[in-house]
Structure 1
């Protein structure tokens, strides 16, 4: 009979040397289970830098939207990732087919800017040079544009109709600034603004100097 109050003896467990007990509920780390380390993927990501289709097909799509200069097409195709040799070969083929013509492109742009936007020569010249058109083609196209003074008067008359509520000097400053931003030289902008405001019922004694 065991004396009262004496602690119960607990059975001893033996642990083999070299083995470590794993805490209950803890899972082995990923890649270190019984199946061994996880294999790395051999297939890398697909090459997404190569453009679809050909440079010629892409150029035809761009030309289907509007006429473009040769340099403009070259820049767009290069940004799309086409090789320079393929780009030049495609541009030469399209030029021989008559689909690229910088002189025709310049004339079309001058007509659109001069008749549609009533832009001044300076603005049209700057827009054409940004597309890479040769300076001689720019000047040839501008030579056929409508009279610049007439364009300035036409634009000034259109804008002056909406300035009746402004004070004369405020209307003059605003109209003068609009003509300058549209690409007209200061002297031409000043004369067109004065004439348009006077025709719209404004005072004839507007400032002689530029605002």
Structure 2
């Protein structure tokens, strides 16, 4: 259960309006900043630390506040990473590599990233790649075979799919559509 912070009644409504309290206590300011940022969406510890640094909160105060937030469960990088992987894979069709890259930019620890992307099994990843190709396939009709292959495989590459998987899925989709892909020479995309 989160500890409730009582703000002194100085006549202003700054604490009720979602703004940092007007007191000069850096601890109170840090708590208010973190709570405001966490209200909109979950954040990683590093994202919050960066925000506190930008607001001029001393590092030792920020560390204390962030540790307390972790202790009470308001900051949980493992849960953040798991939810991120689930959401971005389902919603945008991103593969493990792209998801890991996004989590790294958000400051999630490598071990937590590995755990989070491990929840995607290879068959699930391949099924998602196939669904992406099936949606894009219609838009490439009428283009020459090589161009279709490049567009479809390139789309999967941008979403982080490995080259071998991307080419296999694209070839299967084109074959099922009746394209002759046996003589395709397709290098690295």
TM-score range, shorter chain: 0.7 to 0.9
The residue number in structure 1 matching 2:71 is 96
Specify the SS of the correspondent of 1:137: helix
Distance in 1, Cα, partners of 2:176 & 2:39: 44
Aligned to 1:145: 120
SS for the counterpart of 1:161 is helix
CA distance, structure 2, for counterparts of residue 88 and residue 167 of structure 1? 58
Which residue of the partner structure matches residue 65 of structure 1?
Answer: 40
- Write the distance in 2 (CA, Å) between the matches of 1:72 and 1:108: 16
- Deviation of residue 125 (structure 1)? 0.8
The aligned counterpart of 2:140 is: 163
How far apart are the structure 1 equivalents of 2:136 and 2:172? 12
Is the 1:194–1:206 contact (alpha carbons within 8 Å) kept by the matching residues of 2?
Answer: no
Deviation of 1:206 after TM superposition, in Å, equals 5.7
Greater C-alpha radius of gyration:
1
Uncovered stretches (5+) of structure 1, i.e. residues with no partner:
1-50
Higher mean displacement: 114-123 or 52-61: 52-61
TM-superposed CA distance for 1:110, in Å, is: 0.5
- Match for residue 10 of structure 2? none
CA gap 1:206/1:97 in 2 versus in 1, 3 angstroms: farther
Q: In 2, Cα distance between the equivalents of 1:78 and 1:196?
A: 50
Q: 1:81 to 1:152 in 2, by over 3 A?
A: same
Q: CA deviation at 1:196?
A: 2.1
Scaled by the length of structure 1, the TM-score of the pair is: 0.70
- When normalised by structure 2's length, the TM-score is 0.78
Q: Does the CA contact (< 8 Å) of 1:169 and 1:206 recur in 2?
A: no
After superposition, the C-alpha distances for 1:72-92 in whole angstroms (9 at most, x for unaligned) are: 111122112222122112212
1:118 maps to which residue? 93
TM-aligned CA distance change 1:201 to 1:92, over 3 Å: same
Report if aligned partners of 1:157, 1:197 keep a CA contact under 8 Å in 2.
Answer: no
**Does structure 1 retain, via aligned residues, the 8 Å contact 2:20–2:32?**
no
**What is the aligned counterpart of 1:193 among 161, 166, 170?**
170
In 2, distance between residues paired with 1:201 and 1:58?
58
Structure 1 or 2: larger helix share? Answer: 2
1:130 corresponds, among 87, 100, 105, to 105
Q: Report the CA distance between 1:185 and its aligned residue.
A: 0.9
- Once the 2 structures are TM-superposed, how far is the Cα of residue 129 of structure 1 from its aligned partner? 1.2
Q: How many residues align?
A: 161
Q: Distance in 1 between matches of 2:52 and 2:183?
A: 52
